[in-house]
Structure 1
Amino acid sequence: MFGISRVVCVLGAALLAACSASSQPAAGGGSSVGTLSACQQSFSPERVAAGENCTPVAETYCSNDGSAGSLLDPQVRACDGVQIDDVEITVGNMSSHYLAIRPSGRSSFDTIYLGLHYLIGNVVAFANIARLSELAKARGVLVLLPQAPSADGSNLTSVWPTTALNAALLPSYVGFLDGVVADGRSRYGASGAKLYVSGLSNGASMAYLYGCLASQPVRAVQAVAGDLGESSIDECQLSRPLGTVIVHGTADAENPYGGITGIKPAIPDVHAKFKTNNNCSGEDSSVALPLTSDALQVTIYYTASCDQGRRDFLVKVDNGGHVWPGGNVNEADLPSLSLFGLHTANFDATLQGFDLLRLAGGG
């Protein structure tokens, strides 16, 4: 992949082995950042409620000059000031690779953002759809994007095991993600970094499960257009607080907002489950976001501080589909995106989503 260096690492039973990495800056993609409001630099629903300017600023840090092509291009979109490695990794008997996206010149990090791709997706497309180079640059975080291991190494069999049908595979995949995080911590100076997990669709369902089952504490999970099935809820019996940011459209046909009886709980019920786990008291507050880009109303329901400072956020997109909100959508992408319903840019699941994720994890 152009602009991405490749390194190799093998992790055994101890999860960690000595590996070396070389990295090159990703090419091109200039950007300039003007004066941003406090809320644009660090979003919160309280700031929206107070009347601050919280207009999303997607593509401000990594600008799209119109020449970037489709979101589904076979390389990560370039962005000045961002470095990318493609790291091969083996954990036990599972082999795959992950992308490490980070600001250029940084030798240590206090935050890891583990991003999990959608069903039969690939990490490059997910990085572009979710603008994760921009997240790394704008918020100064280490982004790790693992490709789900597959039997034949192809994207068509790259699936996170989140249903009752493949539940037996779950411990191995949790161990694989533990290995990716351990390698990222060692390789990029992030030994004490706070860990946040985010995912889209199948990746969102796996984000819930990894947040519940990881060998190390996960501060908070962001689930975009994902579900937590009835069988998965049984797996998510937590003994520690876990903040959540749930982003979901009410017209999501793949994972219905209202759930499917006996199969998938309603999204507000999943939100309530984690509120109970975190010992949140009182009713949610709520705020409707301004219609800055389109006619899809976004409402954020949010808790005050819960156990250990955790919080839970539900971002409801009226008439929104099975998509990642935020940013501009190129015309070249519309045929594929329209299959999954309506997309809004009134809320940005990348930068604003990360700011909520940090709040959910206790700051």
Structure 2
Amino acid sequence: MPSVLARATSIAAIVLLAACGGGGQGADSTMPPDGEDGRSEGDGPGGGENLAGRCQDNFGPDRIDAGQDCAPAYHEYCEGTFGNGGFSYDEVPACDGVVVETVAIEDADTYAGFLKYVVLRPADTDPRAVVTSLHFRELLRDPNKAAHTYGTQMRLHELVKGRNAMVILPGAPGGNWQQFSPTGLLDSIEESGLGDLPLLDLLGGVDSPLFGLLEGIGLPVGLLDALFGNAGTLGDVADALDNLAPLVGSIDDYLQYARTARDHALARFGGAELPQFASGLSNGATYAMRLACQYPDEVDAFMTVGGAVSALEAEACKDNPPVGSVQVHGINDPLSPYIGIITYPIRGGVPPINEDYADGEVDGIPEGVTTAVLREQPGLFLDVFGPNNGCSDEVEASVIPAGAAGRGEIAGDVVIERFADCTAPEGHKSYMVTVTRGGHNWPGYDAPSGRNVNALGLVSYDFDATLYGFDLMWRAAGLE
């Protein structure tokens, strides 16, 4: 069991990125063969420019531009739980055509001394791709329970059935993928250029979700006063966290644990020869990005939802070999800010809303961050992943309007951006999906019907990060 100080440190890491989220669903066997259900030859993922059939079966921004109805359709493949289990599930619900395997190995060759993961795979057919997906922060939860909870809420059994994929869900030791190493933290903040901004302005005040989480976590006596009082800055946070004891296990320990789980699953269940995708939510998204940046030969495409990396990690990722990238992020994310803070900005430049907005008039842009700062800020989409894939400066955008799925419009329009041209030899591309008023959530997660807001912000149901996210990864990998 971690010490009180270690636990406090892990939650203090929420200041860097932290994590929470939600989602799950269920309904029939694998994807119908080509030519059935109104779809023509080549219309599944990988169908290229063929726009026959439904956008819901093979999503792409070109379909939006062609005037198709691209509002997500939920519960078509597996029945939903509608959030009945809250944030705790012992097992992914049964769905006809989906096999669920739970693996637990003691004395494994990992820093933790064990290996735990869950695999979801098609029952009666070979999968077309493998997705290794990493869960959000579930501190002190059993690793496999964390994996089952994540798989249920994010409807990953529907991904198996609706897109004929195998899904590997590594369970993090202690339920948490460690978010930062104290070493180099100050350098990372300096790289961000925002170290002198007042902390309370950045967090949105004492009523913000991040402040509340820190307040209730039991940090050392006097630490909160030092961090939030007397106009403390982001640099003060770095100083405080830099002096806290690190967690057991480094970032690399956790990254190697995730790789070991993936490799063990591929050896046991097959699929090593298939396209390899990585995805994740919140701190799981950060590790998916780290996997793609540090081991680009092991990942054909990745998707992050509400995740980012430090400025130093982003710099190290530049000029890497091509890897398909899909970033899904809400502009009003309170835990992993869209404009970055000590993390690298998500998109870079002015957010895809109204470029003529006045300072301080757009939600999600903290006081003290001016239009000039935004225009000068680099970002992962514009300045790391796009250039790695040889993409041009010209960006094209398609919009799914708020409320298209009939589940409320408060989370705002969904803007899907991509570069007009990318020259990576194998066709790798980069996509940016922005929920213009969204929070720190997985769009389309299986929450109670009618709910589109939680403690971490507004939830969009106009983009399905589960199925549409897979379709974009397929395209980003150059497989269309």
| TM-score (structure 2 length as normaliser) | 0.63
Indicate if the aligned counterparts of 1:68 and 1:77 stay in contact, CA closer than 8 A.
no
Q: Which residue of 1 aligns with 2:418?
A: 302
Give the alignment partner of residue 271 of structure 1, picking from 381, 389, 394: 381
Greater strand proportion: 1
Task: Kindly provide the amino acid, as one letter, of the partner of residue 80 in structure 2.
Answer: N
How far does residue 172 in structure 1 lie from its aligned partner after superposition?
2.6
The aligned amino acid for 1:320 is: G
Paired position in structure 2 for 1:160: 178
Once the two structures are TM-superposed, the CA of residue 128 in structure 1 deviates from its matched residue by: 1.4
Partner Cα distance (1:171, 1:65) in 2: 35
* Runs of at least 5 residues in structure 1 that lack an aligned partner in the other structure: 1-27
Residue 78 of structure 1 and its aligned partner are, at CA, apart by 2.1
Task: Classify the secondary structure of the residue corresponding to 1:309.
Answer: coil
* Structure 1 vs Structure 2 CA RMSD: 2.7
SS at match of 1:178: helix
Residue pair 2:98, 2:121 contacting (<8 A) in 1 also: yes
Equivalenced residue count is 325
Q: 2:119 — aligned with what?
A: 100
The answer to whether residue 343 in structure 2 is matched with residue 324 in structure 1 is: no
TM-aligned CA deviation for residue 93 of structure 1: 3.6
Counterpart selection for 2:263 from 179, 182, 191: 182
Q: For residues 381 and 89 of structure 2, what CA distance do their matches in structure 1 show?
A: 35
- On the 8 A contact 2:296/2:321 being kept in 1, the answer is no
Residue 112 of structure 1 aligns to a residue whose secondary structure is: strand
**Deviations along 1:192-218, whole A, 9 cap, x unmatched?**
111100010001111110111237421
For structure 2, the residue ranges without an aligned partner over 5 or more in a row are 1-24, 32-36, 40-52, 140-145, 184-245, 348-378
Q: 2:161: which partner in 1? A: 137
How far 1:71 moved relative to its partner?
A: 5.6
Letter in 2 for 1:129: Q
Which of 51, 60, 72 lines up with 1:44 in the alignment?
Answer: 60
The C-alpha deviation readout for 1:162-195, integer Å capped at 9, x for no partner, is: 4555698233333222222222222222131111
Residues 15-54 of structure 1 mapped to structure 2, 5 A cutoff: 30-31=27-28, 37-54=53-70
Report which stretch shifted further, 84-93 or 313-322: 84-93
- Select 1:254's aligned residue among 306, 320, 335: 335
2:151 equivalent among 114, 120, 127: 127
For residue 276 of structure 1, give the secondary structure of its aligned residue in structure 2: helix
Query: Would the aligned equivalents of 2:301 and 2:476 in 1 still touch at CA under 8 Å?
Result: yes
Contact 2:92-2:149 at 8 Å conserved across structures: yes
Residue 162 of structure 1 contacts residue 205 of structure 1 at CA under 8 Å; is this kept in 2? no
Task: Assess if the C-alpha contact under 8 Å between 2:26 and 2:155 holds in 1.
Answer: no
Counterpart in the other structure of 1:217: 298
CA distance in 2, matches of 1:201, 1:97: 20
Aligned counterparts of 1:183 and 1:72: Cα–Cα separation in 2: 26
Q: CA deviation at 1:254?
A: 0.5
Q: Which has the higher contact order (CA 8 A, sep 6+)?
A: 2
SS of the residue 2:455 aligns to? helix
Instruction: After TM superposition, give the deviation of residue 235 of structure 1 in Å.
Output: 4.0
- Residue 30 and residue 49 in structure 1: after superposition, are their counterparts in 2 closer, same or farther (change >3 A)? closer
Shift of 1:80: 1.3
Between stretches 210-219 and 306-315, larger displacement belongs to: 210-219
Give the distance between the partners of 1:333 and 1:130, measured in 2 at CA: 15
Letter in 1 for 2:122: P
Show CA shifts across 1:130-158 (max 9, x none): 10000011111110000112xxxx43xx2
Question: Partner amino acid for 1:148?
Answer: A
CA 68–253 in structure 1, closer or farther in 2 if over 3 Å, else same: closer
Which aligned pairs between 1:102-117 and structure 2 lie closer than 5 A?
102-106=121-125, 108-117=126-135
Deviation at 1:359, TM superposition (A): 0.7
Give the residue type in structure 1 aligned to 2:398. Answer: V
Give the secondary structure class of the aligned counterpart of 2:115: strand
Detail structure 1 runs of 4+ shifted over 6 Å in the superposition. Answer: none
Change (3 A) 1:279 1:134: same
From 342, 350, 353, give the equivalent of 2:466: 350
Change (3 A) 1:162 1:132: farther
CA deviations on 1:32-89 (whole Å, 9 max, x unpaired) are: 8976743211110011111112221222111238696546333212211111011124
Q: Deviations over 1:240-272 (max 9, x none)?
A: 101111101011110111221xx1222111111
Q: How far apart are the structure 2 equivalents of 1:159 and 1:355?
A: 26
1:60 corresponds to: 76
